[in-house]
Structure 1
Amino acid sequence: MIHDMGGKYHHGDLRAELVRVSLDLIAERGLGAFSVAEVARRAKVSPGAPYRHFRDKETLMAAIATEVACRLAGKVRDAVEAESEPVAALAAAAGAYTEYLIEHRAGMNVIYADGLQGPEHADLHEQTRRLTDQFVMLCLTVTDRPQDGLELMEQLFTQAHGYGTFHLDGVFTKQGYSKEIVVRKSVEAARVAIEGRRKR
């Protein structure tokens, strides 16, 4: 808990709390609603407090994106490990991405947000590699050529994100689709895409 003591704040780990509150804000209202001022307000600290831990908004966003990439990598890993066959594992990974996006409004839109591509965000790039490596290694397993594997990975991420975004934007809600149905459809679409590029 954060305590306001005459302008002084006590928190076990304010840096981690700011990232947590940021993720909650994005999950609730989307990336477009993110602001350092709103994060500070929700964390019950002064507007300047976040800047004691993060140089600027970009640095805080990089920490948020790093956490998203780390969590996504873990969710994808669990989905892959639950399957014994490469096509099923890869399709399940795509479904895991869609599910996480629906639940948290965070995926590649956060990881590749403007301003986060520089070398100063090494932790983010490392976690992003962890995430994408899981996909690319499986894609290379089921395709003939490296280029086919990379294109398949791109297609799977695009499809998985699209399914999640359609749900979040209310497109699928109008069709009466639950989150579970959307995730299942994402998995099925991934399987079709994989079979279309599979080794002959």
Structure 2
Amino acid sequence: MEFLFRVVLRYGAVLLLVNAIIGDAMAAPVRILALGDSLTAGFGLKAEEAFPARLEAALRAEGRDVRVINAGVSGDTTAGGLARLGWALAEKPDLAIVELGANDGLRGLDPQLMRANLDAILKRLKQDRIGVLLAGMLAPANYGPAYQAEFKTAFARLASDHDVVFYPFFLDGIAGDARLNLADGLHPAAKGVDVIVQRILPSVRTLLDRRARPEKKP
């Protein structure tokens, strides 16, 4: 009888430990990696005014337990984002927002090369089972309509090919509006970031809901 009592106590302790571990894992915030360029990094802004910080604040205000990781690097092209992806994934994200391409467009880089870089990024994220929101970008008008069309189409096709959440234009609602941008006319001011966050929020909610939805059995 004493032996049985000890066994029960031992297994009871093990179960309590397992439940504690599972509980901690379930309580951990959803980690969203914001992989981007200066538009994500928050060029010219305070850290708390940058897109990742403002998005996290908006989601937490809705009662969502999330942490948005700022993996934006000013000046980065899609090639730069791809080169440092492994380093960024050391943050062990659950989800990712990919905002790259603006500098490819500003430099007039080949849209096919940009597409190949983004394709490689999305493949790696899929391999690691990380849900993705792909944010599109538009090319400057000075490169002509053919370049603009190829550039814009690349994002939509990638989103379709990889079946990821797609937000067509990251700067929607603020591009060209001097009141919402810094003096350079290229980077959002704090008010501009808030507009971006409010417009992209429905797509981010979709991303979060996709993660919460149980996978269908084959």
Q: TM-score over 0.5 for the alignment? A: no
Where on the TM-score scale, by shorter chain, does this alignment land: which range?
0.3 to 0.5
Q: TM-score, normalised by structure 2?
A: 0.31
User: RCO (CA 8 Å, sep 6+): is it higher in 1 or 2?
Assistant: 1
In terms of fraction of residues, the more strand-rich structure is: 2
Q: Which has the larger radius of gyration?
A: 2
